[in-house]
Amino acid sequence: MTIPYNASSLSMIKYVQASLHLLEDNCSDSVAWYSKSDKGLKPIINSKDIVVLVKSIAYIINNDFVKIKKLQKYLKNVATVLTLLGLPIVWSLPHGLIVKQSYLEVESTSIRPFVYKDTKINIQVVNKDKYDKLKQVRALMPNLIHSLDATSLSLLYDKFSNVYKDSQFLSIHDCFATTVDKVATLKTMLSSVYMELYSNDPYLDQFDKYLLNYIEKTGRVLDRNTRTVEIIINNRVKYYELIDIEWVKNKKDINKRTIERIDSQHILV
């Protein structure tokens, strides 16, 4: 669940550790032991085992779920190219809202406000002319997912409120609820919203098309046939290629390898 949000391996390790009970008395040789709860206090796993577990999960996902890895690579490529172009990352949501991601570089400086004191104050100054490449890259996937969750929420509420004018509608992030007599209808509406978003007109195609149009509208040089963008860095012209969205969708593999298509069914409970 944390991979689409670009969680690091260290973050994943901390999530596992947080779900367990640390046995302080059994820590030795820089190895911390954990139990399932604070009741039995029986050691079941140590810190080194958790590292191996997280690495194993990451390996399985990268090898068995190729499309996730490809999507990560595509979005990283998009964020990198737009940052090098000096542009914010902008995308359009299915219900028409335009999202702009702009993480700017921040520089820290220390000053001494008083000559008679050694106390210093740290001040952070935002560089409005330069985007923070690392933040732009790491934030794109989670922000895209959150924006699509918000789209689902707004479309679902619009459908529901049009049918039931004064009924209760509850929401926490991407979880929805209503009174018992209308739960079945809410489930059906939610299914239709997901179908509209991700089935009838593939959203990744819309995202990619909007991206190319956006680059051209800003006056940048883009060759749509080769998906190559011209970027000037230190007064030198360089060319960067945008990954083809068809490769991400497994319809065209740049490595000429056959990838088994896995169909998935989502059951809403």
What digits encode the pLDDT tens for the residues 204-242? 899 999 999 999 999 999 999 999 999 988 888 999 999
126 lies in a domain? no
CA distance linking residue 139 with residue 101, whole number of Å: 8
| 149/146 Cα distance (integer angstroms) | 5
Rounded distance, CA 36 to CA 40, Å? 8
Distance CA 225, CA 212 (A): 11
Which stretches of the chain score pLDDT less than 50? 252-269
Confirm whether 60 is domain-assigned. yes
Backbone angles phi, psi at 27, to 5 degrees: -85, 125
> Left (φ > 0), alpha (ψ -120 to 50) or beta: where does 41 sit?
left
201 in any annotated domain: no
Residue 17 is assigned to a structural domain of this protein: yes
Domain residues for 2?
1-64
Instruction: Tell me the two tokens of residue 55.
Output: 């690495």
Provide the pLDDT for residue 250.
Answer: 65
- Cα dihedral angle (172, 175, 180, 184), rounded to 10 degrees? 150
The residues near 147 (Cβ < 8 Å, ≥ 6 apart) are 91, 93, 97, 99
Please report the pLDDT score of residue 255 as a whole number: 42
Q: Dmax over Cα atoms in the chain, in whole Å?
A: 72
Residue 180 is assigned to a structural domain of this protein: no
- Please tell me the distance from the alpha carbon of residue 151 to that of residue 65, in angstroms, as a whole number: 25
149: in domain: no
In a domain, 254, yes or no: no
Q: Are 216 and 85 in contact (CB under 8 A)?
A: no
Looking at residue 268, what is its pLDDT?
Answer: 38
Is the residue at 43 inside a domain? yes
Domain count within the chain: 1
